[in-house]
Structure 1
Amino acid sequence: MDQIGELKQELFNLRFQFATGQLENSARMSQVKRDIARINTILREREIAAAEAATAENNS
């Protein structure tokens, strides 16, 4: 969870730099957004797997 917080902070800083015209590498914004999405996907997959395991355990 700490990593996603760091990425969100970096994205905020990149957006601020973009708004003030100081952003040198605009592709980094897209890269950070993709990294956040990847982490959220992994967290959701784990959540679904845990729910399925709990359901399977209750049905046994």
Structure 2
Amino acid sequence: MSKAKELREMSDEQLASELTQTQQELFRLRIQASTEKLDAPSNLRKLRRNIARMKTVLHQRTPAVEK
């Protein structure tokens, strides 16, 4: 799930649950990286970017506070 278009089609609840799952997976990969048992270090970068995409879509959905 890396395309922003796919993320925008998801509901808020689905996107929030996907975000928490991805953050948990990133945590597990960071632990593996610290113990030097990580198979593909490029997955860390991919997960960080996916998390950023999800947070961006969630932020875009929240209405802007008018001053």
TM-score, scaled to structure 1: 0.78
For 1:11, give the aligned amino acid: L
The total of aligned residue pairs comes to: 51
Tell me which of the two structures has the higher relative contact order, counting C-alpha pairs closer than 8 angstroms and 6 or more residues apart. 2
- Is residue 13 from structure 1 mapped to residue 28 from structure 2 by the alignment? yes
Q: Which has the higher helix share?
A: 1
Percent identity for Structure 1 against Structure 2:
33
TM-score, scaled to structure 2: 0.71
Show structure 1 runs of 4+ deviating over 4 A. none
Structure having the higher Rg: 1
**Structure 1, unaligned runs of 5 or more:** 56-60
Structure 1 residue matching 2:40: 3-state secondary structure: coil
